[in-house]
Structure 1
Amino acid sequence: MDIDKKLKNRNILFDILKGIFVGSGFIVPGVSGGAIAAIFGIYKPIINWLANITKDFWKNVKYFIPFAIGGVLGLVIFSYIVKVALGRYETIMMWAFVGTILGMLPSLWREAGQEGRDKTDYMIMVGAFLLVLAILLFASKYIKANVEPSFISWFVCGALIALGILVPGLSPSNFILYMGMYKEMAEAFSKLDMSAVIPIGLGGLVTIFSLAKVIEYIFRKNYSKFYHFIFGVVMASTVMIVPTSYAGFTGIDYVWCLVGFIAGAGLGYWMSGLEEKYK
């Protein structure tokens, strides 16, 4: 679909809502903004535009503004939610995210198979799942640091956030947690602290424009294989956010986890249905 048809066949409020969910992937531990963008069908258009930034520039700006507004809102809103949810409500929130992602997976599976599938695609998907799961398990167990906030460390955080867009399934907040800067980042986003937001933005822009061409080339040459790779990565990252700690939980807390999961799955399925409608 060309940019003129995209601008004509759209629901701006729905696009803002999608942006909010993508923005949540930059701040909620374990969640990937790139994976959510892929599930919503906006990952490839973003990569194509960033790799060819001058082509239909103003039309693309007009098209992506609602997503950008939603992304900023998602960052700010979920920064506050994360601050409140860190503790007892975090488990319930994460189950809701697991449900949302699983509810949208059928849409991503259809997207991956648009050009057909073969045995190699399945092998790549399973290999990506196992490899990324192993890397994430290793990182969560052995990589810990305590980096002091500075222009350079915030710049690195921005680069990680950009990688979370470019590499679906990669959760930047996990790595920022490993750096020991997650609490400071959530605080900075919730207050829109420019001393942190500006270097984070610069790190993100440098990373995106450095790698977008590479990602776009891979898409152009190996669409099916790359999308099945993405599917495997999304599955691995989803496994990693399934809560494992239930200390102090009562029966009603488990019920709320189930309610959160079902509500998230319903929301994800409904949103992927809307995405199919507006494609």
Structure 2
Amino acid sequence: MAMGAADVVPGVSGGTIAFITGIYDRLLNALKSINPSLFKVLGQQGVGEVWRKIDGTFLVCVFGGVLTSILSFAHAITYFLANYPEMLWAFFFGLILVSGLHMIRQVHQWNIPAMVSLLVGVVIAYAVGILTPTSLEPEPVTLFFAGAIAICAMILPGISGSFILLMMGLYGPVIDAVKSLNFSVLIIFGLGCIGGLLSFSHVLSWLLKKHRDLAISLLTGLMLGALGKVWPWKETLESRVNSSGELVPLIQANVSPMNYEMITGEPSYLVESIGLMIFAIALVAMIEWLGSKKH
């Protein structure tokens, strides 16, 4: 459910949640096991062995939670983004910051290739964060490929699938489809997600198996590079009209919380935001502690 809640918010990755909760490798292995060889297993050993091979109960629990959360939190997240964005972004800023520090500790050997990989990840995430969003029409083919690209981002720690949709100008149509249960849009988008998920999981799993330190340092860079995008206090330089006819930010610049009220005329909620950052850090620390007790 935490993965689903994170995936609703542009700038936050469900893959980050999977990583810090310790299910990331198991999730990739389960997804990787879904391939054409299952037909042979089905014919020789039956449905039970197929279910065991794909870790079916685990996948049902994870994706059942993700879907439940997306359907439940789509309204709440969009409400807080519209009314209390500073506090919501502050919470996710703290979450990503402490998660990045957690991932740094997962790199067994820091050497020049690992540090270069970290720097490349930071640059890529920062570059994605400052891109000016474009607008694509929500046609079936566009929605299918958008789903495939977005789901790949969703399982990468540090890269948000929702933010990729925002870059394409499709975040509004997709989140509206979730809220209104527009199945004609959701089914096409979902098929793209399934295709992207099953293909990309093989590549990512191979990287983590063969070049784990390089892959994790790259993912850590992607995560830390996204911090600029989720900085809570922003000045809107340009706006656009979205698919619902609402005026939303197009280009924003980060500003100091001390100057935020003077520049924007909006309350900074500085004390509340810092409190939520600390809460996010404490939450991740608690999750890590519970995970270490299990092991």
Please state which band the TM-score falls in when normalised by the shorter chain.
0.7 to 0.9
Matches within 5 A, 1:86-97: 86-97=81-92
What CA distance in whole angstroms lies between the structure 2 residues aligned with 1:69 and 1:131?
Answer: 31
One-letter code of the match for 1:144?
T
Q: Which residue, 112, 134, 146 being the options, matches 2:107?
A: 112
Match of 2:280 in 1: 264
- Give unpaired runs (5+ residues) of structure 1: 1-19
The 1:269/1:102 distance shift into structure 2, 3 A limit, reads farther
Match of 1:131 in 2: 124
Which has the larger helix fraction?
A: 1
Match of 1:75 in 2: 70
Which one is further off, 231-240 or 184-193? 184-193
Offset of residue 231 of structure 1: 0.9
What CA distance in whole angstroms lies between the structure 2 residues aligned with 1:155 and 1:148?
Answer: 12
Offset of residue 243 of structure 1: 2.1
What CA distance in whole angstroms lies between the structure 2 residues aligned with 1:165 and 1:84?
Answer: 22
Offset of residue 84 of structure 1: 0.9
Give the conservation status (yes or no) of the 8 Å contact 1:100–1:264: yes
One-letter code of the match for 1:201?
G
The 1:105/1:46 distance shift into structure 2, 3 A limit, reads same
Q: Deviations over 1:136-192 (max 9, x none)?
A: 32x2xx3422x3333223223311331123433221212212332222222222333
Matches within 5 A, 1:1-279: 20-53=1-34, 54=38, 57-59=50-52, 60-113=55-108, 116-137=109-130, 139=131, 142-145=132-135, 147-245=136-234, 246=260, 247-250=264-267, 253-279=269-295
What CA distance in whole angstroms lies between the structure 1 residues aligned with 2:152 and 2:134?
Answer: 20
The alignment partner of 1:126 has SS state of helix
Give the conservation status (yes or no) of the 8 Å contact 1:30–1:237: yes
Offset of residue 126 of structure 1: 2.1
- Give unpaired runs (5+ residues) of structure 2: 42-48, 235-259
Give the conservation status (yes or no) of the 8 Å contact 1:103–1:267: no
What CA distance in whole angstroms lies between the structure 1 residues aligned with 2:266 and 2:80?
Answer: 15
Q: Between the two structures, name the one with larger relative contact order (CA 8 Å, sep ≥ 6).
A: 1
One-letter code of the match for 1:230?
L
One-letter code of the match for 1:75?
I
Larger Rg: 2
What CA distance in whole angstroms lies between the structure 2 residues aligned with 1:105 and 1:277?
Answer: 21
What CA distance in whole angstroms lies between the structure 2 residues aligned with 1:160 and 1:122?
Answer: 27
Offset of residue 85 of structure 1: 1.8
The alignment partner of 1:86 has SS state of helix
Q: Deviations over 1:19-54 (max 9, x none)?
A: x12112322011112222222222222222222224
Which one is further off, 242-251 or 57-66? 242-251
One-letter code of the match for 1:124?
S
What CA distance in whole angstroms lies between the structure 2 residues aligned with 1:21 and 1:154?
Answer: 25
The alignment partner of 1:26 has SS state of helix
TM-score, L = length of structure 1: 0.81
Q: What is the number of residues matched between the two proteins?
A: 253
The alignment partner of 1:87 has SS state of helix
The percentage of aligned residue pairs carrying the same residue is 24
Please report the RMSD computed on the Cα atoms of aligned residues, expressed in angstroms.
Answer: 2.2
The alignment partner of 1:117 has SS state of coil
Offset of residue 128 of structure 1: 1.9
TM-score, L = length of structure 2: 0.77
